[in-house]
Amino acid sequence: MVQERTVPVFQAVTANISREEGLLLYEDMVLGRLFEDKCAEMYYRGKMFGFVHLYNGQEAVSSGIIKAMRPGEDYVCSTYRDHVHALSAGVPARNVMAELFGKETGCSKGRGGSMHLFSEEHRLLGGFAFIGEGIPVATGAAFQSKYRREVLGDASADLVTACFFGDGTTNNGQFFECLNMAALWKLPILFVVENNKWAIGMAHERATSQPEIYKKASVFGMPGVEVDGMDVLAVYSAAQEAIARARAGEGPTLIECLTYRFRGHSLADPDELRSKAEKEHWFARDPIKKFAAYLIEQNLATQEELKDIDKKIQAVVDEAIQFALDSPEPKPDELHKYIFAED
């Protein structure tokens, strides 16, 4: 069993959020969970094809980071586990589901599929199939924001980029090269490590000489923080602080979120490498159940209100399925469309 690190960071009981913020975070996490559950069902029914990597268990990271940002303005760069990042960024569930079905109404016009979600409107820079592939893209987005603001004098360009990647990616060259550039140029970017303990079938502690990833930030002279990635308010608090620093021109932050995926690496993974005891330990820390209990304890919501949200979101997901089923396939004679920019 992989040993769990102690998390000496933000605690939900010390967070100060409004009822509206709390319900927003809860609704977003529930949307991510129910959407992914439905994806698993559709995959096994033969409605989706190719590789599909689900996000169950990690919802607090997506919601906590992205909901602290400006919707439709700040940039989000994802990985091959990108469905929930897209939903948190505001891409409608129906357009994400249609993309997974390979339909023309999908956010990538049915050309991208599960690992290549994109939405210019929602500032989603894409999902990327190869690990580390999105880090240079996100760094470039942060650079253009800084250039527009400081060189071109565009005061509205105080935008921040959030770049998500897993623990396995932090041993790759793009990680080190881009953190170096971001620190040198004080770019407005959050490097968000979703450390779910496993890089496919490789246990994190067996793959790196420094398993505490957030400490790698010190090499580049940037802040590095470790947060409980199963606690949405811990993530939300860390994100707010890092975003404020970035907007103030103080540069990047490396945020390591200690989390866990509840399913296998992909829906094709039998998930036989992780022990039953390890999985049960993390299942007991379900971020949605944990946050629901917090909202009720703090009188920010009632059990009935949370159940109503669950029902509402289930209806959204069901509608997304029907929309995807009813949507048209891409036309064969448009096979080459969208490859190049068009006037």
Render pLDDT for 61-92 as a digit per residue (tens, 0 to 9): 999 999 999 999 999 999 999 999 999 999 99
Domain that holds residue 207: 20-38+52-276+287-322
Low-confidence ranges of the chain (pLDDT < 70): 1-15, 343
Residue 44 falls within a domain, yes or no?
A: no
In angstroms, rounded to a whole number, what is the distance separating the alpha carbons of residues 143 and 181?
10
User: Whole-structure pTM over 0.75, yes or no?
Assistant: yes
- Residue 252 in any domain: the answer is yes
In a domain, 10, yes or no: no
CA distances from 221 to 181, 217, 224, 254 (A): 11, 6, 9, 11
Tokens of 206: 């067996």
Residue 5's pLDDT is: 54
Instruction: Note whether 299 and 71 are within 8 A (CB).
Output: no
Distance CA 163, CA 168 (A): 15
- The verdict on residue 327 lying in a domain is no
Largest CA distance in the chain: 58
Domain annotation covers residue 218: yes
Phi, psi of 108 (to 5 degrees): -115, 25
pLDDT at residue 340 in the model: 86
Tokens 């603001």 sit on residue: 149
Helix (H, G, I), strand (E, B) or coil at 161: strand
Over the stretch 229-245, which tens digit does the pLDDT of each residue have? 999 999 999 999 999 99
DSSP 8-state assignment for residue 119: B
Residue 137 forms part of a structural domain: yes
Residue 63, domain CATH: 3.40.50.970
What domain count does the chain have? 1
Rounded Cα gap, residues 341 and 16, in angstroms: 46
Q: Is residue 236, in this structure, part of any structural domain at all?
A: yes
| Contact (Cβ atoms closer than 8 angstroms) between residue 264 and residue 270 | yes
194 in any annotated domain: yes
Can you read off the two tokens belonging to residue 220? 């580049």
pLDDT value at position 214? Answer: 98
Alpha-carbon gap, residue 27 to 135, rounded angstroms: 28
**Distance separating alpha carbons of residues 113 and 50, to the nearest angstrom:** 8
Q: How many CA atoms lie within 13 A of 293 on its CB side?
A: 9
